Amino acid sequence: MRRRYTLLPLLGLLLLAPSFVSASDLLLEAAYAAILRGDYDSGRTTINDLLTKDTELQDARQALTWLDSYHEVVASRKDLKAKTFDWNVTEAKKAKEENDLRLALAFAAQAMPYAADETEYAQQPWIAELTKEAKLAAGKYERKGKWDLALGYYSFLSRIHEDDETIKELRKHAVRHARVEYAYEDEEALERRLKDVDKRLLENAIQMVSRLYYEEPDFKQMANGAIENLITLAGASKPQEFLDGLANPALRDHFVQKLEEISSDIKNRERFSQRDLERVFNTVAFLNRGSVELPEALLVVEFVEGFISELDDFTGMVWPVDAREFDKMMMGGFEGVGIQLGVDEISKRLKVVTPLENSPALEAGIEPEDLIIAVDGESTKGWTTDDAVQNIMGPGGSEVVLTIFRPETGQRLDFKLVRRKIELHTVQGVERIPGKTDNKWNYMLDEDTGVAFIRLSNFLPKSEDELERALREARDQGMRGLVLDVRHNPGGLLDVAIDVVSDFLADGEVVSTRGRVEREHRERVGGRARYRDVPLVILVNEGSASASEILAGALQDHNRAIVLGDRTFGKGSVQHVRGLGNDARLKLTTALYYLPSGRTPHKAPDADVWGVDPDWHLRLTPKEFRRVLERQRDVSIIRNGAAEQPEALSEEDREKAVAELKDDTAEDDEDEPFLTEEQIERLDGDPFEAPDTDPQLETALLLIRVKLAADVPWPRDLAAAFDTDRRP
């Protein structure tokens, strides 16, 4: 039911008000309060009434200007959603008439986020018919062993039927099969994955889970997952090309039959312990020796991956082959030349998105959009970004030569770079200050009202120092209110998140942790809070996880900030990394986080409630989401503008030069793509582009502008003060 706000109670206030408080002031305060509750209609009506009586009320006129600007964003969103939905539905039905099932399904899924009523849309007869056809097609590909194509169908279906349990299970089954096909695509991939793996890792992993997991492990369910993984492995087509035992139908069928018998026995058991799980592996190993004779290390990997998949989404193995990359991720830095990599759409060659701050690449003069065509004289044709990382990164002090093609000028340039430690920066502002050689940020979103903006992309060891510096600079630039953006922030170090909370909260609990074995531990802040009085809106979305959720949830619980955006990811759990030997590690969930209110952000299997629910719900459409990411990318780009550049090529010559570098390696891939390039081009042919605005940021800006003008606390009933049909 839509709530309506009435201003009738104000009549009594006006009669009782002291003589020095004018009726205009009281009405303007009421308008501000209505806006902060989300009741824009009441706020606008009151302001218009005031201006009818007195056109010189500058504060009222300013507030009306803010509302008008925001109304344009809301109206534009509504119009864009309707047009985008209609276009996708029309194209889906057209593709269906052309018997192009995959394209029709893709268009139907692409329409879903733009539907006025998603439930009604998913139940439309033509969608039901399309769903039935897609399930049948996926089943055919399953029987052919083409799991990547089956997964394509289920992935699009899950976007249309998000809560359909059958589709969820079908997709999970296809993911399991597709993972095996990808992980063991050739003998080299197999050898790389199994390097330094032995049975001792499995035994240590089981013991760690039994002893430290945050709740009592379900060993029976773990055993089921392990056996299911091994059955999946036995039926995978690619490993059969280089594993003789799996290539033999008789041996393979015998092995699978015995695995299914073990699975049936497990399901019929009432009690199942850690020892029983270990015995299952020993039984499997014995059967293997008498049939398909797979490497024991392969059994270990798939058995462990299978039982871990039945725990929670954040417990996982770091196998010896992945240890180096894991360490780099955990350290928040790496040794290399400092380049953010991408792939050029035309040539399919490695592209420099931007050189990183204080890096050898930036200092040498490497530019955004440069194409890396060779590394140490070896062509990069056919390389993935992972290949590039492996070859460009290296020990500090060592040299690497990058051969660059610069599309802007047609130059081929060699850069001899000396690798060194690269520190990742996690704080951004609105834009870099033009003309500054030190790449400093402008943090002011609205200089007139003093609204600042800071994006925090991670919680790394130096993130708090970066944020402190940014807050000081923002204050010097005129900050009176702040939008803190932790959208797409995956989290990081808990102590850093607590330090960030302490910048804004004077005293109180931030988070507590407790598990099955771990004692309850509480973290509080108190003392400094240099910015305790700065009005604060925190932007979140489904990519905000872990430490981001603790930051947003704690400040929300203390009524210190308004949280705006979409429900967060739901990683409310503590992982400890335990060594298992041979450089392998187990990342194990040992406890859950609890916010000051007692809730946990943890997303349990089949949960209906998780994460941090915003005070102000506003979900971006995919178009808007991409636009936000583009803006974040664009402001992060650093250009070397000092050196004199040769004359630029014409657009025609530039396109021709880039096309000559085209990497055709991918076109020789034997695997059939779910959608062809022509289908993707048609899918991307939507003529309705999202404007260069960020609706979540615009909403936060309006709230802080009004908050600063009204100088009142955030209303505690903000989230309940309006319904979905009033949201932008």
Residues 6+ apart with CB under 8 A from 88: 107, 108, 110, 111, 114, 686
For the record, the structure tokens of 521 come out as: 């531990």
Question: CA 525, CA 85: separation in Å to the nearest integer?
Answer: 47
Q: Which residue has the tokens 């593709």?
A: 95
Nearest to 563 by CA among 485, 615, 487, 618: 615
661 — alpha (psi -120 to 50), left (phi > 0) or beta?
alpha
| 571 carries an active-site annotation | yes
For CA atoms 347, 350, 356, 358, give the dihedral sign: negative
Instruction: Using alpha carbons only, give the angle 441, 445, 447 rounded to the nearest 5 degrees.
Output: 100
Question: CA 586, CA 326: separation in Å to the nearest integer?
Answer: 12
Q: Contact, 114 vs 91, CB < 8 A?
A: no
Q: Which residue has the tokens 């998780």?
A: 610
Question: CA 568, CA 545: separation in Å to the nearest integer?
Answer: 6
- The catalytic position among 557, 566, 615, 694 is 557
| 546 carries an active-site annotation | yes
| 557 carries an active-site annotation | yes
709 φ, ψ (degrees, to nearest 5): -70, -40
Q: Which amino acid is at 38?
A: G
Question: CA 516, CA 519: separation in Å to the nearest integer?
Answer: 8
CA atoms within 13 A on the CB side of 154: 25
Tell me how far the alpha carbon of residue 14 is from its chain's centroid: 50
Nearest to 482 by CA among 457, 456, 508: 456
- The catalytic position among 347, 502, 546, 636 is 546
Neighbour-count burial for 499-519, b at 16+ CB within 10 Å, e otherwise? bbbbbbbeebbbbbbbbeeee
- The catalytic position among 146, 220, 571, 603 is 571
Interhelix angle 23-37/695-710, rounded to 10 degrees, is 150
Annotate 317-342 with DSSP letters as a single string: EE-GGGHHHHHHHHHTEEEE--EEEE
208 — alpha (psi -120 to 50), left (phi > 0) or beta?
alpha
Q: Which amino acid is at 95?
A: A
> Could you list the active site residues?
546, 557, 571
